[in-house]
Structure 1
């Protein structure tokens, strides 16, 4: 296994109390595999990724338990200097907002070239040549001229391609893409996802794709992990999830996708709101919004039941959900 996250716990100390953002998350991704991590905003998807990358804001964030095994090493036990050498070279992250992630006062060429001067010791001239190659690789037109431009001179889709170029620069074994198609129109979304899939096949990278959009991952993911209130509530191969979800929350997400054959019908929405992470309800955290909830759901926190050898569901009544 390329990456294994085991029973990870992350909390934030706030004025309102301790927010338990990640509560025992366990998942893994192998070489050449794509794991899609799904869930509403605030479910813990990005915080888990930041903990894996070692870029969690501390304070107020704090990892309180678990392991992050990457190529046989527990990253949580490494010194910061060792983590810094791994970031970029062995694992990289594509951030949600490329305009905020890129330095606005440094040309994109210099930002790409820095990867090679810092991690590979290349000269400024050779690093600039590598930057042009990368921009060509992610299909940015007129790369030799545009390498001197600043982030604000690129469109949203082109900036995201720059972020992808930075992520693949040193050919890492793992890339984490955090909402890489947010704020992009549908056509550009498809182009970006196609580019990511192509690069993954070429470099045999493991890919963790963080998103709230089930439609984005249908054609690219191998496995899906669905998160709610900082927990994995369902994990399964992608086709099993779409064919028959085994958790009411996953079913609600699928039913919320607009469909051409439902023209004229009211779009389904999951009732209620995600819980306040400083006051997660007892029992199953989804029970206040769940159509299958019963008395046991309000008192007993369900484990991740084994539905089959390749999937699990944190629902006491997963069989009923699976049967529709």
Structure 2
């Protein structure tokens, strides 16, 4: 059984090794109006052409302290550079990156001693071998670059999520303040409403009292008139006409005073009714404000629940993304 497992593992390693790309040497197309073909080294890699260009540019700049520049079409050049892993001599390096699909590319590297005098295996075996070895390191560097990009993308995602989290938390606090303010305002309105209700009750009581006084005054006036009429009849029998006129004038004073009192009572009733109407309008206004605040409070509570749910979901997603980042970092450390 152990032998079988070993054979399977060996077969897997052999298959993996057979799939690994190794740089090849030969004559490859260069630039037609300069030199149609030149001796170079070619390698296929599992990465997008754009990424390969970026990694090669960084590799050359790091090793030679010189930036790549465009020669013709897709051919890049690094002029008069010392690439120590390849040679201590000053050479010109040219490379072309061609896409072979979405996630695959082909790299061709050319070395020149200057003036497009390209190095070949026959005359510069050690330089070509070193350049081939240097190019064969590219797939590993591409994998490192991919992992680094994945980590950076993950960090950017986490940063955006943290911003969104802070924004939602701020919104949540704002909604909480709105809710608290609405509660305070509602309490104030309720207090005002209670005060107005008390004033209305007092006004109604005063109106009732005035009405009672008016009714009492009318009754007294009626009684006074009846009494005056009886007195007049008796006096007419006992006295002369002059005495009767005098008594009649005295008897008419009571109705005049009563009429004045009734006028005063009516005016006071009118004033109190106006006051009551004013209080009722204020009550209606307060009721409308209460309804508006209740609606605002309900809307704020609904929005707050929504934001709390979003915040919870965001935090779960953030934890997931952080876990992914840790996995990527661990994988990156393991590869090193």
Sort the TM-score into its range (normalised by shorter chain): under 0.3
Does 1 or 2 have the higher relative contact order (CA < 8 Å, sep 6+)? 1
Bigger proportion of residues as helix: 2
TM-score calculated relative to the size of structure 2: 0.21
